[in-house]
Structure 1
């Protein structure tokens, strides 16, 4: 299932009202925590707004309202606000499960890693240690 969310913003600039919206593909966002996606920028691009304009600056001063979250984004949407950290945690957990499950199956002959939480935790810690060494 795709992870998407609708983003919308309404504002006025030079006597004209704007109501912009788009569906954001959250799967296209980076997984790492250092890079925060600029949803205003993505919304502007999707609606043909020049990001080097006064119109864009006015747009940035307004909050985006989110709706229609699908996939792992659904539990992270509350009252029009999207919790990006919540989504990243869900997506990271899914990614880690996809990496660990085949290893557990192939090497340890464990088909359901969730049924053995201590083993799952040990593999997860080894996975994180390996990632930390590569940095």
Structure 2
């Protein structure tokens, strides 16, 4: 389990949300669906040419937790999309205080994972992926 620090700068929920993103990594979709059975869930199958990907999106408080799966139906990436991605500064400040930043990897190190900020059409999201 990662060392999740609490910060007075942002509400405690962000530490908990990072922890959820960490917990789903290496879990099957069945386990993830059971973990969040009381939450709003969207299951998608994306197909294009030889690509056939499964995605699960889960509404958790002020974020959407997105899980991507490998060919064995195991979550290998998770994303946290903030409801307000225009206000990243407190979240970045929290990560800078709680985790070591790797300039080589372009993100914060959480055990064997890297938490990165990625752009998308709606703003930005946090991606947690294995190093």
TM-score with structure 2 setting the length: 0.25
Structure with higher helix content: 1
